[in-house]
Amino acid sequence: MDRQQTSDSSGTWQPKIIAFFCNWCTYTAADLAGVSRMKHDSHFRIIRVMCSGRVDPQFVIDAFARGADGVLIGGCHPGDCHYMEGNYKALRRFHLLSRMLMSMGIEQDRFRLEWISASEGEKVRTVINDMVRRIRALGPLRLPAGLAELDGELKTREEEILHV
């Protein structure tokens, strides 16, 4: 898959972060940050889901594969989930997925889970600014070449199997 490099008008590389925010807490907090005119870095894009529990690990992998330099999941604080415990499910998946991503060579700072309640507009700003800063320091995500080899190998095997 082709990865697109983003640069701003002056030609410097800018990170691309995909943020999955739950409707009830973090998305509302982002709205609050807006209403409160809390200026923050623009290099992230929000996708609204009803609950952080809806974030399929494949969404995260897909985002990285399509060129995201970072993925942020925002959910309600433990005990506050609008759906009682969806955020705990998100947390479970997060730990497993983090390890998997690291083994693929995707640095820990590129994948983040944050609990941000509807009242924490300020936290949206802090988290986003911090994440952008860390990813700027890491530079663009270069999926390891080994993965491409792995892809090739899989393809060959698949063809072998199909031909047998």
Partner 1 sequence: MSEQNGEIRIGFYVCHCGHNIANIVDVAAVARYVAGLPHVVVSREYKYMCSDPGQELLRQDIHDHRLNRIVVASCSPLLHEQTFRTATAKAGVNPFYFQMVNIRENVSWVHEDPAEATLKARDLARAAVRRVAAHKALQPKTVSINPDVLVVGGGIAGIHAALTLANAGKKVTLVERAPTIGGHMAMFDKTFPTLDCAACILTPKMSAVKNHPNITLWTYAEVTKVDGFVGNYTVTVKHKPRYVKEDLCVGCLECIDACVYKEAKVPDEFNRGLGKRKPIYIPFPQATPQVVLIDPETCIAVKSGKCKRTCVEKCDRLAIDLDQKESFDEITVGTIILATGFKTFDPKRVSYYGYGRYPNVYISLEAERLINASGPTSGELILRDGRRPKTVGIVHCVGSRDKNTHRWCSRTCCMYSLKLAHLLKEHSGAEVYNFYIDIRAAGKAYEEFYDKLLEENVHFIRGRVAEVTDWAVIPEEEGKLIIRVEDTMIGVVRRIPVDMVVLAVGMEPQSDAQEVRRLFNISCSTEGFFLERHPKLAPVDTFTDGIFIAGACQGPKDIPDSVAQAGAAAAQALMLIDSGEIKLEPNTAYLTEQNCSGCKSCINLCPYHAISYLDDKHRASINEALCKGCGTCVASCPSGAIHQNLFEDEEIYSEIDGLLAERSPESTAV
* Interacting residues with partner 1 (CB under 8 A): 2, 4, 6-9, 16, 18, 23-25, 27-28, 30-35, 37-40, 42-43, 45-51, 53-59, 62-63, 66-68, 79-80, 82-86, 89, 93, 117-122, 125
Q: Give one word for 135, left, alpha or beta, with left for phi > 0 and alpha for psi -120 to 50.
A: alpha
For partner 1, the closer CB: 143 or 163: 143
Least distance (Å) between residue 148 CB and partner 1: 19
Crossing angle of helices 26-35 and 121-138, in 10° steps, is 100
Least distance (Å) between residue 118 CB and partner 1: 4
For partner 1, the closer CB: 50 or 154: 50
Distance CA 94, CA 112 (A): 8
Report the SS3 class of residue 44.
strand
For partner 1, the closer CB: 9 or 103: 9
Distance CA 88, CA 111 (A): 17
For partner 1, the closer CB: 53 or 113: 53
Nearest Cα neighbor of 19 from 33, 36, 35 is 33
